[in-house]
Structure 1
Amino acid sequence: MATIHRFCCNDLLRFTFVNLEHLTNTFSMSFYLTYLACWPDYFQVAEGLGKLIMCYILGKAEGQDESWHDHVMAVTVAPEYYWQQLAKKLMNLLEEISDNIDKAYFVDLFVRASNTPAIKMYEKLGYVIYKRVLHYYSGEEVIFYVFDVLSLNLKSPILSAHPSISVHQLQPHDQFVIFASDGLWEHLSNQEAVGNCKEDGKNCSTNPSETFI
């Protein structure tokens, strides 16, 4: 039987046992204190007999306008309690807080691509894969970025029809302009993209600045 309550400062001295889980990232004490001070409702813990911490969730609210959302920084269960659905209960609690208190538009999080049990759990909770991000964790492991639209947001559009526009005044030393979707940068670094354009430009009969590459 688990009791769920808001995380407190004393819990920082008792949750090391949970952080021994091999997929868990452990942060500095100041990091946890910042979350506890700024977003206390999103720092929840489940404890069992003898006040033993079994699981905790750590999150925050961020963004503006249609991008106002809650981000799950960590949800970690001690290996001995994997099959008690504690993570699911804490995720449901966080979504309730997001929907009813912060009026967030969605909840998002990152999960290791190798963490199959977690991915299956998030999909059962209604989360969907949004995009893949390279080099997010050490070891260059591919990460899935997933989100869940909350009931509140059926009243407002998630996607905005207003484009984001930036202006760059062309200079004499500019050689080319790259027109690409953001998916390009998931496969090429800035330097690799520039190198490809320079290489293609060598084969052009006209000035590279006047050529679409």
Structure 2
Amino acid sequence: MTSFRPFTPADLNRFAKCNLDPLTETYDIGFYLQYYAKWPSLFQVAVDDKGNILGYIMGKTESSPDFFKHSEHYLPWHAHITALTVAPEARRLGIGRILTEKLEAAAEAADTWFVDLFVRKSNEKAIRFYENMGYSVYRVVKDYYGDNVNDPTAHGEDAYDMRKPMKRDKSRKHIRDDGRNHDVQPEDVF
């Protein structure tokens, strides 16, 4: 049986199965602890009955700095999914969906405009997963990923900046239907 709970620092020693996926971004210990300290409600884990971590999601709430306020790339108060991963043996059981819904509930509680995330353009499974949860491509960030897992000799891989509106965005002001036609550079993204 799978249960869901907030992340604790002791979980860092049990992430290995989840982080072995080549599409999962991994970070140093200090990065995980920063998220735990600043945004605990946006850092959740899924565990089995033996305490093994089957998946996790970590996110944050933020807005662009004030000096960015007059830029077309300014981002208002929103939640961001920094990482979502599920161990290979636990995939297709709804764990990713439940973790994402928990983060979205925390985003609603924080009165954000939307939840966003970045995903490799080549990660078709993840893109379909998010689209099925109501996310859509807002823009394409050119060469966002410094490594291209499909072609190591190529430039960086593009990312889709995907968004899902929260209740606050009644008019869907921060979502667009033609996001795949809007290219930006990594430096335009906060």
Unaligned 5+ residue runs, structure 2?
Answer: 70-74, 148-155, 175-181
Structure 1 residue 58 displacement after superposition = 0.5
* Alignment partner, residue 109 of structure 1: 117
Structure 1 residue 16 displacement after superposition = 1.6
Query: 1:71-110 CA deviation, whole Å, 9 max, x = no partner?
Result: 00000011111111111111111111111x2000100000
Unaligned 5+ residue runs, structure 1?
Answer: 160-182, 190-213
Q: Could you say what the CA RMSD is over the residues aligned between the two structures, in angstroms?
A: 2.0
Structure 1 residue 49 displacement after superposition = 2.3
Q: TM-score, normalised by structure 1?
A: 0.71
Q: Tell me the matched-pair count.
A: 162
Structure 1 residue 151 displacement after superposition = 1.6
Which is strand-richer, 1 or 2?
Answer: 2
* Alignment partner, residue 153 of structure 1: 169
The counterpart of 2:140, out of the listed 108, 132, 155, is 132
Which is helix-richer, 1 or 2?
Answer: 1
CA distance in 2, matches of 1:26, 1:87: 17
Secondary structure of the residue aligned to 1:153 is coil
CA distance in 1, matches of 2:143, 2:165: 26
Secondary structure of the residue aligned to 1:50 is coil
2:67 corresponds to 1:58? no
CA distance in 2, matches of 1:185, 1:52: 40
* Alignment partner, residue 93 of structure 1: 102
Q: Percent identity?
A: 38
2:13 corresponds to 1:13? yes
CA distance in 2, matches of 1:157, 1:16: 38
| Conserved? CA contact 2:139–2:184, under 8 Å | no
Point out which structure has higher relative CO (alpha carbons under 8 A, 6+ apart): 2
Give the number of the structure whose alpha-carbon radius of gyration is greater: 1
Query: 1:16-62 CA deviation, whole Å, 9 max, x = no partner?
Result: 22101111111100000000000000000000121010000010000
